[in-house]
Amino acid sequence: MVDDSQLLRGVLEGCILKIISKKTIYGYKILEILQKNGFETIKEGTLYPILVRLVRKGFTDYEIRVSAIGPDRKYYFLTDIGKDELNSFEKTFGAIQEGIKQIWKGENDNDEQ
């Protein structure tokens, strides 16, 4: 009944921004981090369009670096606008998480009809 893709879409950009905020990083490494942290179903075909969209929105940018083991790579980093977006995401997502926790615990239930 739950459409996982809708839930995923809502948090994936924020997770990618958080990963990029920690260090300048290339796309495939972002994918590995996502997959190791519960996003096993994420594939390159999902990640790379998101990275393009984040660049287009001005949240991230990239630099091309030479790779010793293959083709040159795009290394992504957060822009100032991206840092602001990440802060906004963290606040909003934190509030949503807190609301979900309260509902699961039964807090603030009102049994009166």
User: What are the structural domain ranges in the chain?
Assistant: 8-105
The residues that bridge with 34 in the sheet, in sequence order, are none
pLDDT at 113: 53
Please identify every stretch of the chain with a pLDDT value under 70, giving residue numbers as ranges. Answer: 1-4, 111-113
Tokens 């990640």 -> residue: 47
Amino acid code (one letter) for 58: G
User: What pLDDT, in 10s, does the model give residues 8-26?
Assistant: 777 999 999 999 999 999 9
| Cβ–Cβ < 8 Å for 55, 62 | yes
Is 78 in contact with 21 (CB distance < 8 Å)?
Answer: yes
Measured CA to CA, the distance from residue 86 to residue 65 in angstroms comes to 25
Provide the CATH topology of domain 8-105: Arc Repressor Mutant, subunit A (1.10.10)
pLDDT at residue number 16 = 97
CB contact at 8 A, 42 and 28: no
Q: Beta-carbon neighbour count of residue 85 at 10 Å?
A: 20
pTM beyond 0.75: yes
